[in-house]
Amino acid sequence: MSGPVQIVLIVLIIGYILTRRLSGVPAQGKRILLLPAVLVVLGVTKLHQVDALELITSGALSVVLGGARGASIRLYSSGGVVFLRYTALTVVLWLVNIGAKLGLGVLFGSVADSLLLTLGLGVLVEGVVVLGRALRTGDRIVWAKGRGGAPHRTSPLLDDLQRRFRTGR
C-alpha cells in the first residue's frame, strides 16, 4: 500500500470512528478491540525502513493520547447496556494527535510507514481504557450489536470480568 493510499485509508478510518462515536454507540467489545488490533497487525506488516526513534516517539505519543481519549469519553446507560460518546475534549485530543503526527512527519521526514501501527495502538489503548471504565458500571457490555432486531451478543469473558470487578474477586 503506497503512502498516499495509506493516508487516505487512515483519514477514512478516523472519520468513521469520529462520526459514529460522536452520536453515541453501544460499547461493543468487538469494535473496541478487534478493529484496532487489525490496524496494529497491518501496521507491523508495513514497517520497512522506519527509524527506531520515530517509531518509539510516535508510538508513545499514540499510547498517551489514546489513554487520554479513553478517559475523556462519556459512558452512559441505555436499556441496561453501556454506551459511549465522544466529548469535545475527545475531538480536541484527536486533533492534537493528528497535529502531532504531522509535526513528527516534518521532524523525521515521514511517518507514513508507522501511521497504521501507531493509529492502531492509540485506538487500542483508548478501547482498553473505555472497557476498563465500562467494566465498573452495572450495565452490560456487549460483544456485538444485534442486527435486525436480534439481541445483542455478549462475551462470557467480558461478563466474567465485569462480575469480578463488581464483586472485587
CB distance 82 to 26 below 8 Å: yes
| pLDDT of amino acid 1 | 57
Mind listing the pLDDT tens digit for each residue in 96-110?
998 898 888 788 777
| pLDDT of amino acid 73 | 97
0.85 surpassed by pTM: yes
Mind listing the pLDDT tens digit for each residue in 47-73?
777 778 888 888 999 999 999 999 999
- Cβ within 8 Å of residue 108, ≥6 positions away: 51, 53, 54
Tell me the residue range of the domain where 17 lies: 3-167
Which residue ranges of the chain lie beneath pLDDT 50? Answer: none
3-state DSSP of the chain: CCHHHHHHHHHHHHHHHHHHHHHCEECEHHHHHHHHHHHHHHHHHCCCCCCHHHHHHHHHHHHHHHHHHHHHCEEEEECCEEEEECCHHHHHHHHHHHHHHHHHHHHHCCCHHHHHHHHHHHHHHHHHHHHHHHHCCCCECECECCCCCCCCECCHHHHHHHHHHHHCC
What's the number of domains the chain is made of? 1
